[in-house]
Amino acid sequence: MNEKDRKSSFPQGERAERKVAFSLIQPSGDLTIGNYLGAIKNFVRMQDEYDCIFGVANLHAITVTQVAADLRRRSLEVIAYIVASGVDPAKATLFIQSQVPEHAELAWVLNSISSIGQLQRMTQFKDKAQKHADNLNAALLTYPVLMAADILLYQSHVVPVGADQKQHLEFTRDLAERFNSRYSPTFTVPEPLSDENATRIMSLKDPYSKMSKSDPDENAYILMKDDPAAIRRKIARAVTDSEAHFCYRPEQAGLMNLINLYAAYAECTPNEVVERFHDSDYASFKRALADLVVGVMDPIRTRFLSLMEDKKELEEISHDGALAAQRVARRTLSKVYRKVGLL
Ligand code: AQP
């Protein structure tokens, strides 16, 4: 695609009528099918309904220690996964957070109206503080302030959020309202966009914790870059139970997670999955699930690999995206600086 075909500015013409949707993904590990089902798959759907800004939260990722070369590689990979999954860079703005310095600048201003007590009460901070006790840095505490800056810079109307991010979005809304009432209306107060049917994909090894890209056990997740053999192997080894009874109930959390996975990929309800497989043994169900996952993920992986062969194209997509994003971000930040009295 040549540069002119890509979105040259944002928002424009009839696009300006549409609501702005915003979401970022952290390049804190290789993306899992949890990231695909919980975020990227929805990006594809949203691109025709909203003015979408999607990106790579690399500034957020450094709240946990990263290896520089891996962080660099994964940042571009996230863009490639989003495009390979079907998001069109001519329709949605795709960018890397650190390439738009306004994020860090607005975060500093918002820090000045953020309450330390409120930040310390955030569930994710308490969890991460425990998990990373050896690296309890200030950015872990102020993470929600940067997230608020991300969202508010673009006057976002909607932010797709999972249950674990609801508290942070509430914090963003508080900051927007506080700033608007202290100075004058400046920020759009964003609404959460929650999908009633959204499923939290759980670890294949411990179905009581979320499937996470930073899990140290590589059998706990399926990566978007896993080949068919790896996908089949991981699903075959996924934790189930010894009840040998195919049903959907919390007492059989491992099986429940696999049923949710099947339902998410087949776009049906868990009950429909149970109806279809109630006579099956777990091994046959796992084979059918693996076929389904491979059928969706393998074409994405193939497109991803071919995109990664041409890094220049990806760099251009993120460069153009950053320019388009920056135009909007600059406008908001200039207003903020003027109101606060910053020269
Ligand atoms: N297991 C999951 N099920 C459903 N949705 C998920 N998401 C992540 N894991 C699951 C969704 O993916 C989007 C991007 O997430 P993120 O990378 O910004 O942060 P995260 O939620 O912290 O993802 P991870 O994989 O758990 O990363 P680490 O291990 O680095 O903390 C979000 O929309 C999220 O809901």
Gap from CA of 32 to ligand 1 centroid (Å): 8
Mean pLDDT of 97-110: 98
* CB neighbours of residue 178 within 10 Å: 15
Q: Does the structure show a pLDDT above 70 at 12?
A: no
Q: Does the structure show a pLDDT above 60 at 148?
A: yes
The pLDDT score that the predictor gives to residue 162 is 76
Spatial contact of 328 and 106, defined as CB atoms under 8 Å apart: no
What pTM was computed for the model?
Answer: 0.92
Which residue's CA is the closest to the ligand 1 atom numbered 5? 38
Q: What is the position in ligand 1's atom list of the atom closest to the CA of 211?
A: 1
**Residue 18 has what DSSP assignment?**
S
**What does 150-184 look like in DSSP terms, one character per residue?**
HHHHTT-SEEE--GGGHHHHHHHHHHHHHHHHHS-
Q: Does the structure show a pLDDT above 50 at 11?
A: no
Sign of CA dihedral 58, 64, 68, 73: negative
Q: How confident is the model at residue 25 (pLDDT cuts 50, 70, 90)?
A: very high
Q: What is the position in ligand 1's atom list of the atom closest to the CA of 23?
A: 33
- 311 among known catalytic residues: no
Q: Does the structure show a pLDDT above 80 at 103?
A: yes
The pLDDT score that the predictor gives to residue 200 is 87
Omega cis (within 30) before 299: no
Mean pLDDT of 252-272: 96
Mean pLDDT of 75-88: 98
The pLDDT score that the predictor gives to residue 135 is 82
Which residue's CA is the closest to the ligand 1 atom numbered 23? 212
For the CA atoms of 238, 233, 71, 99, the dihedral, rounded to the nearest 10 degrees, stands at: -90
Spatial contact of 134 and 57, defined as CB atoms under 8 Å apart: no
Percent of the residues in the chain that have a pLDDT greater than 90, as a whole number: 86
Q: What is the CA radius of gyration of the chain?
A: 21
| 22/39 Cα distance (integer angstroms) | 11
Max Cα-Cα span within the chain? 71
- 128 among known catalytic residues: yes
Q: Does the structure show a pLDDT above 70 at 260?
A: yes
- 213 among known catalytic residues: yes
Ligand 1 pocket list (CB less than 6 A): 25-26, 28-29, 32, 34-35, 37-39, 57, 162, 200-201, 210-214
Mean pLDDT of 245-265: 96
Q: Does the structure show a pLDDT above 70 at 15?
A: no
| 172/165 Cα distance (integer angstroms) | 11
Helix, strand, coil: what percent of the chain each, to 5? 60, 10, 35
SS3 9: coil
Which of 24, 33, 35, 128 should be mutated for ligand 1, with most atoms under 8 A from CB?
35
Mean pLDDT of 54-60: 98
Residue from 7, 41, 205, 210 carrying the catalytic annotation: 210
Percent of the residues in the chain that have a pLDDT greater than 70, as a whole number: 95
Task: Quick: pLDDT tens for 209-230.
Answer: 999 988 999 999 999 999 999 9
Q: Does the structure show a pLDDT above 70 at 1?
A: no
| 88/79 Cα distance (integer angstroms) | 11
